[in-house]
Structure 1
């Protein structure tokens, strides 16, 4: 190749083919950036929870009742769970036959616990008795193994009745109604344990209709 050929300028056609339009380059870069942003948005959307935790937690909270000025109002107590009237004074255990429920009342007249019971097949008369004996494990009159047995009864038979739990049941399961003759008033094991801890010897047992 001669020196004239080396120094000769390119033809206009060749220069035109070798250049890239600056506008085209900017457009291509902008398009690529938009595609990348779209991919990141899709990935972020796929990994994010559908709902914010605070919104879910707020939705799960129960509604709170309020009065006319917007102050929270406690729900009214269930009358069926109220301590029966004319059920004695001082520390005592109250047993309602009609409600099939007991109340443990402290010396300050405050109810420490209330629990449903399964009544015995032998029904005690209304009146005031006293705890006469406590047996950790025993066999009831209907030959069922029981525990946390707190016995009470009339003067002629101070162990005729009892608060007790069926030994074979889980702690929070109510026992079935006894079929055979028994003075055992039955509770869950958890409730019977509370009675056992509360009702020491000579604790009054007040039976109401």
Structure 2
């Protein structure tokens, strides 16, 4: 005579299966084409146009560095302390500032080698969305954000390779970059 499984075992099995399907669909969706939204810009008023000069700079975030390569990638500028998320067409869909650690990678091309959902950083701060892409003098260099969203404290002489960002930017980077995603570091 066959033994019946208790109801909790059925519920656990069905829940696990459902989670696996959702994860598979999320991974599949992330690798597909990503829509871009058009940004509506207000028309300049007559008074604004009369006072604007031909040499005025457009406001907004800095443009994607020209030497950053082509294709879908993460671009990190050491000098600007900024990251761009670039789609397959070469258009930066999102850009944000970061707080670099005390150890910086050399300009060049890398790729995400390991992703870890959360852990305690070498500075003792609980972090999430950790995406490693290189090692410098034995120190891992990775993008991450603090769980509480805070900026990193002073390093007190520690060698730290964490490139920290705001919590919402960490979530966006995590959604954008899988293991193997290209990372371009520029000066």
Q: Please tell me the TM-score bracket, short chain as reference.
A: 0.5 to 0.7
Does residue 206 (structure 1) correspond to residue 184 (structure 2)? The answer is: yes
Unaligned runs of 5+ in 1: 1-61, 69-74
Structure with the greater alpha carbon radius of gyration: 1
Name the structure where helix makes up a greater proportion of residues: 1
CA contact (8 A) 2:82 2:97 kept: yes
Q: CA deviation at 1:65?
A: 3.7
4+ residue runs of structure 1 moved beyond 2 angstroms?
62-68, 75-80, 154-157
TM-score (norm 1): 0.59
Report Cα offsets for 1:34-91 as digits up to 9, x if no partner.
xxxxxxxxxxxxxxxxxxxxxxxxxxxx9944447xxxxxx95348611011101000
State how far apart, in whole Å, the 2-side matches of 1:84 and 1:104 are.
12
How do 1:2-17 residues align onto structure 2 when only pairs under 5 Å count? none
CA contact (8 A) 2:103 2:136 kept: no
TM-score (norm 2): 0.65
State how far apart, in whole Å, the 2-side matches of 1:100 and 1:177 are.
16
**Gap change, CA 1:88 and 1:63, over 3 Å in 2:** closer
State how far apart, in whole Å, the 2-side matches of 1:90 and 1:129 are.
14
Greater relative contact order (Cα < 8 A, sep 6+): 2
What's the Cα RMSD here? 2.7
Secondary structure of 2:112's counterpart equals: strand
CA contact (8 A) 1:131 1:150 kept: yes
- Give the alignment partner of residue 142 of structure 1, picking from 116, 123, 134: 123
How do 1:1-209 residues align onto structure 2 when only pairs under 5 Å count? 64-66=44-46, 67=49, 76-78=57-59, 81-153=62-134, 160-169=140-149, 175-179=151-155, 180-209=158-187
Aligned pairs, how many? 137
